[in-house]
Structure 1
Amino acid sequence: MVQSVLTRPSRPTPPPRTPAPKGKRRHGQGAAYLFLSPWIIGAALLTIGPMMASLYLSFTDYDLFSPPQWVGVDNYVAMFTGDDRFWHAAGVTAKYVLISVPVKLGLALAVAMLLNRPRRGVGLYRSAFYAPSLLGASVSVALAWRAMFSTDGTVDRVLGAVGLDLGGWVDNPDLALLTLVALAVWQFGAPMVIFLAGLKQVPPELYEAAEIDGAGPVRRFISVTMPLLTPVILFNLVLETIHAFQAFTGAFVVSSGRGGPSDSTLLYTLYLYQRGFSDFRMGYASAMAWVLLVVVAIITALVFRSARRWVFYAGEGR
């Protein structure tokens, strides 16, 4: 037996692979570019081309009807030094982002943790909670939202029945922005699904070990769940922050395109729309769009830079 093993012939080594001829490699690359060509053409015509045109228009005076006239950085100077509504819209947008994003992510995580427990009909609950994200901030949903939060609407009547006579939220400058925040938070289904996928990746033995050590539910959440969810939290935080800065439909429909009352719902994108398509100052609107792009890029970079301190990856040495 030992002798047969010792004398067993070794497995022959495979011959070295010869590189494919240049003609075949070029043919493979040509096939790859052929299949990628619809995406490349679409990106060039629908994304890169309009972006470059918008960048050029941001340095011009353009009203959609006459040829653009080069004005240099006048649009940017006027924006930062002579437009009070620009700064007001920026402040309203910042307030909207700072309120809606944390509340939305907190609610999404809470519901994801509830749906992570095995129970009967959990698939139906997941679908029901995800449905608002499929509807999105469409015009029909925003119209229904405005009707619910208007004077004598559903919310006004329910609050009035319990003694809270706040009137219509969409007509109150102190509450109108909260209407848009509620509309954004209502669509928590997408980050909820991502959180749920992250919770499925947490090893159950970590919870068992923490429970043996005497950790309660709150301690297990702080010491086990949150550290392992930090990459998912980072992903959702970046996506939802970008989406919040781009919010437009809800503000346009709820305020009838004016940003009222008293400019309390004048989000940045809504003011950009007003300058471009109501005042026909498309060059100014293009400059506003590029300022928004730069601001979002800076905020995203800062979030990623801060992630080095609070995002934990499994197997990473600290």
Structure 2
Amino acid sequence: MKPSILVVGSSNTDMVIKADHLPSPGETILGGTFLMNPGGKGANQAVAAARLGGSVTFICKTGNDIFGKQSVQLFEDEGIDVSHLLSDSKNPSGVALITVDKNAENCIVVASGANASLSVADLQQSDAVIKNAEIVLMQLEIPLETVAYVAEIAAASGKKVVLNPAPACKLPESLYRHISIITPNQNEAQLLTGIAVTDVDGAKLAAAVLHEKGVKDVIITLGKAGALVYSKSNYTYIAAEKVIPVDTTAAGDVFNGALAVAISEGKSIEDATVFACKASGIAVTRLGAQSSAPYRNEISSKVHHADI
């Protein structure tokens, strides 16, 4: 039986417009293609992990509306265990408005809706699921106190806790010691540590600070430059796949979902990061969030990384 991955997080419907450039304040521009896709960092990560062969349970909260019902059906279609999903009768499902420019850069505004009401009390009903999962993967589009509660319960049960600290915000110091692996990008790493992460050297300094705060292993993603892994006092640089990007919207989410799958299969953190870079490299060549997540047979088996 495959080790189980529990994803706790957000589910949104993404409304995407491709445009020549991102609008400035007060500017109206005429865009091109419009897409309405399932999204949300938690949902994206759950779908990515399931497509790559993970045994995934997903806990989120949706509204009692068409967006929520569509999302649940899509999760079931992906083979995700949705038996612990929650429905909010008072708030709508989450929605994200996304603009993507010709260089595949994006700007995103999220109306959290039901995601913001995923409470500690909700998760207390799922304590057994948390304790039985081998890996718990979370992000920050749900209340921070809920993230902290799940991390504490999982860590106390000896489970691996992977936190993707996005969207970026300051974390309570007590949370760090419950995190097995943290995966900030450059901006998130700078917010968490106060260290500018503009290159690998900056990433090494920031990773050391995060480790000192109590995190066991640190992976700082560097966009098209790849990722830096800090584990067991060693730094390892992982190069990114060379691709022509189309849409970077869910690159980080696919990275984290793939990382969780590889870790669940017993891969080293370095090899798991290589696998995650390959998966996210495919995702950025496709439009959309969940729709961009690759399947296992699309990932090559070659492994390349270097200690630095």
Q: Normalised by the shorter chain, which TM-score bucket? A: under 0.3
Report which structure shows greater RCO (CA 8 Å, sep ≥6). 1
Q: TM-score, normalised by structure 2?
A: 0.25
Structure that is richer in helix per residue: 1
Flag the structure with larger Rg: 1
Q: TM-score, normalised by structure 1?
A: 0.24
